[in-house]
Amino acid sequence: MTNLRLYWAAMDGWTMTRRSIKHIVREKESLMMAIGLPVAIMIMFVAVFGGAIQTGTDYVNYVVPGVIITCAGFGSSIIAVSVTQDMIGGLFERLRSMPLHPSSLMVGHVIGGFVRNAIATTVVILVALLIGFQPEAGVVEWLGVIGILTLFMLSLNWLFVVFGLLVKNVETANAITFPMLFLPYVSSAFVPTETMPSWLHTFAENQPMTPLIETLRGLLLGTPIGTNLWLSIAWFGGLLIISFIVATILFKKRKAE
Amino acid sequence: MTDPVISVQYIKKRYGEHLVLDGLSFHVERGSIFALLGENGAGKTTMVRILATLIKADSGSAKIGGYDTDSESVSVKKLISLTGQYAAVDELLTGEENLQMIGQLNHLDHRTVKARTVELLEQFDLSGAAKKRVSTYSGGMRRRLDIAISLFANPEVIFLDEPTTGLDPRSRKNMWELIRKLADRGVTIFLTTQYLEEADQLADKIAVMNNGKIIETGTSEQLKSIIGKEKLELTFQDQASFDEASKVIKGQINESEKLISVETEGSTEILRRLLNTLHENQIEPVAMHFRKPTLDDVFLEITGKSAKGASSND
Ligand SMILES: Nc1ncnc2c1ncn2[C@@H]1O[C@H](COP(=O)(O)OP(=O)(O)O)[C@@H](O)[C@H]1O
Ligand SMILES: [Mg+2]
């Protein structure tokens, strides 16, 4: 009985994921933005600041991990708007009047968003290679990169589902995603944190984006990783679990209103 | 023989200070069309949402097919389908994809989903637009798709919340036709509307709602015997002729608009006599026209108050 319910919950999640993927492909502007913006940021950083910022390596190598996570953050943030739209439109009500687990709707957004993340990240890496990015990673390191990015993106996607559930209209959903997009800039993503004023330096050193970026850098370029891998897993594993639980609770609460 | 498929007893629902449903009770016969008639804000959608298991009532009980909408909601969900006030269709998907998605969510097998999709597109005159995105559909097409979707799993009870609000007159007539066809198949239809004419055209039984209460229930014939048929409205130029006229003819009097509504029962004889009476008294109305009875007439007859007059803009 439980197995059957799990089976159908998974099937419903898959149905809603396919729907989300269709949305992503058809909402061309969002997809172009999710890919185009990080690529533009990367080119700008490399071309404009590349000469001025001293990182001890080719700037393009230094900056790629930061661009990848900016890209993921941007792609994920679109989820908040889609979730809000579904909540205020009639689809959510219809699904709830049907005998199925409506959280398949959330799963659809999370996995669908992950597909968009994956497409955008691939494009970013390809463009980076074109403009001189020279990773030193072997197969194991690349698998590590994929693993840690998957954890990061899924946790971020659930977080944005939470944001989407919290707000009552699309404009607010848009606005709430904004701070997230700035977080990478006050980390070691684009400049070494030692160059920042001391208060900002303290923040940058201790916020979750920095260990993530240092882990990626280590895997891609062979710089020392230290505790950064475990810190990243703790931060984003924690975020994933908390966001998932909060999303589930909010979802039920929305039901009861 | 009565065989109620929906039984509602003393349902109350409060939002904050506002008692939205104040003890509703009614029954809906299996296979019939039931209309919940009320103005905007009367509480129609709230009642539908309770029946469709989306929200809980504060007190009272609602049963569908013998199952409680609260404690046995899973069984209820299997019997019903909901078409909300705003079309729940996915704009970015095609009509066909919308139907298939709901088919899959109903856990029907691949073949059945395909066959049923084709069948419903055909039935609802959407085959030509099957592969077009819903964002290109007209209001009427969206509504049809919305209803086609809600029929996918052959529900026994269908909720239609204001199915024609916002449609042009032609689409509205088409929708009426469609609702009648559904009823012919034996499906029970629970619809809400703001239009007396719509309830009159479609429903076997009408419940009139005002301020969270049902103020009258009956067939459309029974309601009409209360409110009468078409009315002739006579408007007068000045206060003097209006006062004079209201002495010699019988009807509903509207002081502020210098207007008298008279029932003519569709008889030219009555109409002629009426005009003669006015003529003999040397009163000429400045305007006359026939008007179909509205929901407001129902309120006026039943409660003695105009619904509009009773609300805040008075
Ligand atoms: N979730 C809610 N929270 C607070 N008030 C609500 C809510 N839903 C409905 N209402 C109020 O209940 C009243 C009836 O609403 P509704 O059932 O939508 O009426 P109708 O469908 O007849 O237009 C309205 O005054 C509305 O503002
Ligand atoms: Mg309503």
User: How far are the Cα atoms of A169, B269, B281 from residue B264, in angstroms, in the given order?
Assistant: 52, 9, 20
Residue scoring higher pLDDT (B120 or A52)? B120
Facing residue for A19 by CB, picked from B53, B93, B106: B93
Here the tokens at position B75 are 């069984």
* Residue B43 alpha carbon, nearest atom of ligand 1: 17
Q: Of B43-52, B83-92, B199-208, B261-270, give the lowest mean pLDDT range.
A: B261-270
Residue B50 has pLDDT above 90, yes or no: yes
Q: Which amino acid is it at B162?
A: E
Please state the rounded mean pLDDT for residues B97-103.
96
3-state secondary structure of B247: helix
Q: Which residues are B123's β-sheet partners? A: none
Rounded to two decimals, what is the model's pTM? 0.81
- Average per-residue pLDDT for chain B: 88
Residue B314 has pLDDT above 60, yes or no: no
Single out the residue of B247, B252, B262, B234 nearest to residue B299, CA to CA: B252
Look at B84 and A94 and tell me if their CB atoms are within 8 Å: yes
Position B167 scores a pLDDT of: 84
User: B298 and B196 in contact (C-beta within 8 Å)?
Assistant: yes
**Residue to mutate (ligand 1; options B13, B21, B46; most atoms within 8 A of CB):** B46
pLDDT band (50, 70, 90) for residue B309 = very low
* Residue B194 alpha carbon, nearest atom of ligand 1: 22
Q: Which amino acid is it at A160?
A: F
Question: DSSP code of B107?
Answer: T
User: B56 and B50 in contact (C-beta within 8 Å)?
Assistant: yes
Burial class for A44, CB neighbours closer than 10 Å (0-12, 13-18, 19+): exposed
d(CA A223, CA A166): 40
Q: Of A207-221, B14-28, B104-118, B273-287, give the lowest mean pLDDT range.
A: B273-287
d(CA A147, CA A144): 5
User: B123 and B154 in contact (C-beta within 8 Å)?
Assistant: no
Position A56 scores a pLDDT of: 66
Please list every residue in chain B whose beta carbon sits closer than 8 Å to the beta carbon of residue A101: none
Nearest chain A residue to B155 by CA distance is: A98
3-state secondary structure of B124: coil
d(CA B141, CA B118): 16
Asked if the C-beta of A171 comes within 8 angstroms of chain B's C-beta atoms, the answer is no
Look at A95 and B105 and tell me if their CB atoms are within 8 Å: yes
Neighbours of B275 (CB within 10 A): 16
Please report how many Cα atoms fall inside a 13 Å half-sphere around the Cα of residue B136, on the Cβ side: 10
Single out the residue of B95, B91, B92 nearest to residue B131, CA to CA: B95
User: A70 and A121 in contact (C-beta within 8 Å)?
Assistant: no
Residue B313 has pLDDT above 60, yes or no: no
Q: Which residues are B228's β-sheet partners? A: none
Could you tell me if residue A38 is left (phi over 0), alpha (psi between -120 and 50 degrees) or otherwise beta?
A: alpha
Which residues lie below 8 Å from residue A153, measured CB to CB, with a gap of 6+?
A72, A75, A76, A113, A114, A117, A118
Residue B307 has pLDDT above 70, yes or no: no
**Ordered DSSP codes for chain A:** -HHHHHHHHHHHHHHHHHHHHHHHHH-HHHHHHHHHHHHHHHHHIIIIITTT---SS-HHHHHHHHHHHHHHHHHHHHHHHHHHHHHHSSHHHHHHTSSS-TTHHHHHHHHHHHHHHHHHHHHHHHHHHHTT------HHHHHHHHHHHHHHHHHHHHHHHHHHHH-SSHHHHHHHTHHHHHGGGGTTTTS-GGGS-HHHHHHHHHSTHHHHHHHHHHHHH----TTHHHHHHHHHHHHHHHHHHHHHHHHHHHHH-
Here the tokens at position A120 are 């955008």
Residue B308 has pLDDT above 70, yes or no: no
Report, as ranges of residue numbers, the positions in chain A whose pLDDT lies below 70.
1, 54-56, 255-257
Share of chain B above pLDDT 70, in %: 94
- Cβ contacts below 8 Å, chain A against chain B, sum to 67
Position A132 scores a pLDDT of: 85
Facing residue for B77 by CB, picked from A89, A98, A104: A98
Position A106 scores a pLDDT of: 92
Pairing of strands B80-83, B287-291: unpaired
pLDDT band (50, 70, 90) for residue B179 = very high
Look at B82 and A257 and tell me if their CB atoms are within 8 Å: no
Instruction: Render pLDDT for B224-281 as a digit per residue (tens, 0 to 9).
Output: 777 766 778 888 888 888 888 888 888 888 888 888 888 777 778 888 888 888 888 8
ipTM of model: 0.85
Instruction: Render pLDDT for A152-161 as a digit per residue (tens, 0 to 9).
Output: 999 999 999 9
Instruction: Render pLDDT for B51-71 as a digit per residue (tens, 0 to 9).
Output: 999 999 999 999 999 999 999
Burial class for B239, CB neighbours closer than 10 Å (0-12, 13-18, 19+): exposed
User: B40 and B99 in contact (C-beta within 8 Å)?
Assistant: no
**Binding pocket residue ranges, ligand 1, CB within 6 Å:** A 257; B 15, 18, 20, 38, 40-46
pLDDT band (50, 70, 90) for residue B1 = low
User: Positive or negative, the Cα torsion across A100, A105, A106, A111?
Assistant: positive
pLDDT band (50, 70, 90) for residue B310 = very low
**Residue to mutate (ligand 1; options B12, B36, B45; most atoms within 8 A of CB):** B45
Question: DSSP code of B109?
Answer: -
* Residue B212 alpha carbon, nearest atom of ligand 1: 14
Burial class for A109, CB neighbours closer than 10 Å (0-12, 13-18, 19+): buried
Q: Which H or E run contains B271?
A: helix B268-280
Facing residue for A98 by CB, picked from B84, B93, B105: B105
Neighbours of B37 (CB within 10 A): 26
Here the tokens at position A229 are 């891998």
Chain B nearest CA to A120, separation (Å): 21
Which residue's C-alpha comes closest to atom 26 of ligand 1? B41
